Amino acid sequence: MPYLLVVGGRYDPLSSERRYDAGDFLTRDEALAAAQKIIKRSLLECWRTGMNTQALFERYKALGEFPYILSLSEGEPVVFDPPAYALVQALRICEELG
């Protein structure tokens, strides 16, 4: 499989005790969709009633899961910024769940 999805903590993503492999994917788009799903799930687990975007994002940074996509072939590296994606999703969650 050309893409490996690795999930870990914020400050030590690849050697953390929390690190796990979330799967192998044939395409970049499949790996990206899986990474985004992990972030959304993690944000929802961090969310509490009445949280604003900043509070949710800070809690996610401290407790959430950070997926990284590793290219196993000589192709283009996958550019994906988990914190940036999480911030946008935190805004959406807070708007929807308020």
Q: Can you give the pLDDT at residue 57?
A: 97
**Cα–Cα–Cα angle for 64, 36, 22, rounded to 5 degrees:** 75
pTM metric for this prediction: 0.85
Q: Is the pLDDT of residue 69 over 80?
A: yes
Strand (E) or helix (H) holding 68: strand 66-71
Q: Can you give the pLDDT at residue 79?
A: 85
- Which region holds residue 58: left if phi is over 0, alpha if psi is between -120 and 50, else beta? alpha
Q: In this predicted model, what pLDDT tens digit does every residue of 4-58 receive, in sequence order?
A: 898 986 655 555 566 767 888 999 899 999 999 999 999 999 999 999 999 999 9
Q: Where along the chain do its domains lie?
A: 3-97
CA dist., res. 30 & res. 14, Å (int): 21
Q: Can you give the pLDDT at residue 37?
A: 97
